[in-house]
Structure 1
Amino acid sequence: MSTEFPERSSVTLSAFDEIVAAVPALLGFYPCDSLVVIAVRERQLVCSARVDLSVARSSATEVCKRMRASLRSEQLTGLVLVVVTSGSETSEPPPEAEVVNAVRDGFERRGLPVKHCLWTAAIRQGTQWRCYHHPDCSGFVADPGNSPLAAAAVLVGKAAHVSREDLAASLAPADEGVLVRRGAEILAAALRADGQQREPAALLRLVDSAIEDACSDRLPQSDAEIVELAVALSDPAVRDACLVQADEARANAAEALWAHLVRELPAPERAEPACLLAVAACLGGNGALARIALERAVEADPEHTLARLLTAASTLPPWKVRPVLERTSSEARAALQPRAGCSR
């Protein structure tokens, strides 16, 4: 199951055409063979969750139980279910009606009313969408690239990927020869230290400086810069201080930096930025990217403590884990007495 929690409740959508078109921006990719659950307050999107249809078919009860625990429930006025899968535009009812009815009943037994259930073969402009329980209710998907939610995502550099596979490919590692070279340089840096490590406060300033550069769309490119950042993030206190950023601009810049380092660092050092990326993506509303980042972290270092903790907590919604992460980051940062961050 993939659960997303975009904190964009200020974006208001006015019609089903727009709601269906907004799904890729909610998830971070264009889904297929998926059941998407959108929680709404009046006409505002509060949060969403996605599950493979194959999972929903096998256990609608378990899907509702897990999603109900994840969705923010305060002041919700209801849910909208969107099924994305191939099928006939004229069949009555639309495809996967049994799954939809089972999920709808499961949510309503748990106190979450399902207001509308929609189907579309694909989230593509002009594709027909239909209602499951109102035969005369249908329309055509608006342009996903121009939906209000997509526009908000583009402003912060978070346009939707074509698929989850495409999203995963965006974190593909650099050339193997480059990674081997950098791995050797990281080892050499550790040997040169000969037990004389740099002060964690100085290491944090190095990372902060890289985030400030990322605020201006400058990411580290040289081996020396990337190796230095790998060494800095290997200090748990420095890494913990970077878990949560001071403001949205800095958070977006940090997320870009962590993703860059995931691609540019070898294992096991890749695990540190991968964990930071997972946290940033989760708190920023991109649950799919958060899970892929955690996969990268565990692949890089199967025994990585933070990666295992984050994996265990991945079923919890960000509004529950955010206070813990903020406290951990704030205490680590205060202990290291870092300098002030950037603004943008």
Structure 2
Amino acid sequence: MTTATPTGRTTVDLTDPADLLAAIPYLLGFHPEDSIVVFGLRGPGRKQQGLVMRVDLPPPGLEHDQVRDLAIRLAVTRHTGATVAVVGGGTVNKAGRPPRRRFIRRLEASLAEYDISLKHSVWAPRIAADVRWGCYRDRTCGGRLPDPRDSVAAAVVTGAGQITHASREEVERLFDPVAPETLARRADLLTRMADPPWRGADLVGAGVDEVNAALARADDGDLTVTDDQAVRLAWALSLVEVRGACMLTAAPAESPLARTAEELWLTLARELPAPEAAEALALKAHAAYVRGDLATAGIALVRAAETDPEHGLTKLLTRALHAMVQPSEVARVVLRQRDEGTPEISLRRSGGTG
């Protein structure tokens, strides 16, 4: 399957191929395997960094659809150039030339149809210190990679408290649900509960209180979820007003509230049954999107669509992801929606709110 992931985590120096390759795991949030990473360039001088995309390498001989898709994606998002890195895909030949040369030739030709120039194309078998890398155009271009952990991208991402995973599969495992019998038991409880679990007319206020209490527990390091808490939180997130308030926790992305809330959404994505889990999965996707981790956002959206194919927020975010809407724009949308009438989701700490 081909997947595309733009990312907005940080920028890199596109003039040094070795540094660019070393930065890739920190830009994507994981170490890619058998992947193409495309760094878009904008402006008349092709000096402004645009979107960064990762896609799976197609099987040899089946490159046509892939290169056309990449070219179209760059064209519709107004890119004028690109630098391409291939990670994996085979080994060098006897002459020392990197693999997938035909793919690069076809990609360059497809980009040219949209007046997009291929500025540079490089290859590495994997991203790790002292691994040999090379260029497609210049056989004398190449060397050994610096330690990725020493890259500027690593410093920026690590300093922001973000985690870089060993592989995409490792990111996917973060979403693995709890035991089937636990989910079945909670699904049965929700099915038999025809009315909300709170007495009184202010359902939104009760739902907000439920989420705030869960955030306080998460902030204290307690991410265990009982059956009763799971049912109450599922009801809370089903309320449009509560879900809207939860979305506002995503910005600013570096705040303690945003980090704790995103951790709670991931926990609930694993702890809630279908279709209720789609609410938490969409909130996790939204939070990851806002902070620029679109690899995680994409995985969460796929899981959400599988859980509830008609989920509205999931569809909206999926369209934004496919259109390569910048994370900064998604964050601006969140901030524009704040007003005095929005229910407050916050961290209730002894020293004040977060």
For Structure 1 versus Structure 2, the TM-score category normalised by the shorter chain is 0.7 to 0.9
Q: Secondary structure at the match of 2:172?
A: helix
Residues 1:79 and 2:82 are matched in the alignment: yes
User: What residue in structure 1 maps to residue 321 of structure 2?
Assistant: 314
Do the aligned partners of 1:130 and 1:138 also contact (CA within 8 Å) in 2?
yes
Give SS of 1:313's match: helix
Q: What CA deviation, in whole Å up to 9, does each residue of 1:300-330 have, x standing for no partner? A: 1222232233333331223386278426853
Q: Equivalent residue for 1:5?
A: 7
Cα shift at 1:289: 1.5
Residue of 212, 229, 247 corresponding to 2:252: 247
Query: How far apart are residue 226 of structure 1 and its match?
Result: 3.2
- Asked if 1:58 corresponds to 2:57, the answer is no
Match of 2:188 in 1: 184
Q: Separation in 1 of the partners of 2:336 and 2:183? A: 31
Residue 69 of structure 1: CA displacement? Answer: 3.2
Contact 2:121 2:136 in 1 (8 A): yes
Q: Secondary structure at the match of 1:2?
A: coil
> 1:285 Cα shift?
1.8
* Structure 2 unmatched runs, 5+: none
Can you list the C-alpha shifts for 1:3-24, whole angstroms capped at 9, x where unaligned?
A: 2222423x65773222112111
Q: 1:30 to 1:238 in 2, by over 3 A?
A: same
Shift of residue 164, structure 1, vs aligned partner: 1.9
Kindly provide the amino acid, as one letter, of the partner of residue 344 in structure 2: P
Kept in 1, the 8 Å contact 2:40–2:74? The answer is no
1:149, CA displacement in angstroms? Answer: 1.6
Where do 1:60-139 residues align within 5 Å? 60-70=67-77, 73=79, 78-84=81-87, 85-88=89-92, 91=95, 93-139=97-143
Which 10-residue stretch deviates more, 98-107 or 40-49? Answer: 40-49
What is the rounded CA distance, in whole Å, between the counterparts of 1:181 and 1:198 in structure 2? Answer: 28
Change over 3 Å in CA distance of 1:256–1:67 after alignment to 2:
farther
Question: Which of the two has greater helix per residue?
Answer: 1
Q: Do the aligned partners of residues 188 and 195 (structure 1) sit closer, same or farther apart at CA in structure 2, a change above 3 Å counting? A: farther
Instruction: Tell me which amino acid in the other structure corresponds to 2:188.
Output: A
Q: The residue matched to 1:39 in structure 2 has which SS?
A: strand
Cα contact 1:49–1:67 (8 A) shared by 2:
no
Amino acid in the other structure paired with 1:27: L
- Is contact 2:208–2:343 with CA below 8 Å preserved after alignment? no
Query: For the structure 1 residues 223 and 152, does the alpha-carbon distance in structure 2 shift closer, same or farther, using more than 3 Å as the test?
Result: farther
Match in the other structure for 2:277: 270
1:246/1:341 contact within 8 Å kept: no
- Percent of residue pairs bearing the same amino acid type: 31
Match of 1:288 in 2: 295
**Counterpart code for 1:322:** V
Q: Could you tell me which of 300, 303, 308 is aligned with 2:307? A: 300
With 161-170 and 242-251 compared, the bigger mean Cα shift is at: 242-251
Range 256-265 or range 201-210, more displaced: 201-210
Asked if the contact 2:130–2:145 (Cα under 8 Å) also holds between the matched residues in 1, the reply is: yes
Distance 1:339 1:97 in 2: 52
User: 1:121 corresponds to which letter in structure 2?
Assistant: P
Residues 43-52 or 189-198, more deviating = 189-198
Q: Secondary structure at the residue paired with 1:125?
A: coil
Distance 1:108 1:216 in 2: 55
**C-alpha contact 1:183 1:266 (8 A) present in aligned 2:** yes
Provide, for residues 36-67 of structure 1, a one-character-per-residue CA deviation record: whole Å limited to 9, x for no partner: 11236899865310112218713212321024
User: Aligned partners of 1:13 and 1:209: how far apart in 2?
Assistant: 46
The separation in 1 between residues aligned to 2:120 and 2:320, in whole angstroms, is: 30
C-alpha contact 1:275 1:293 (8 A) present in aligned 2 = yes
Cα distance change of structure 1 residues 44 and 312 upon mapping to structure 2, 3 Å threshold: closer
Q: CA RMSD in A?
A: 3.2
For structure 1, the residue ranges without an aligned partner over 5 or more in a row are none
Could you say what secondary structure the match of 2:52 adopts?
strand
Q: Following TM superposition, by how much is the alpha carbon of 1:138 offset from its aligned partner in structure 2, in angstroms?
A: 0.3
Q: Distance in 1 between matches of 2:179 and 2:315?
A: 27
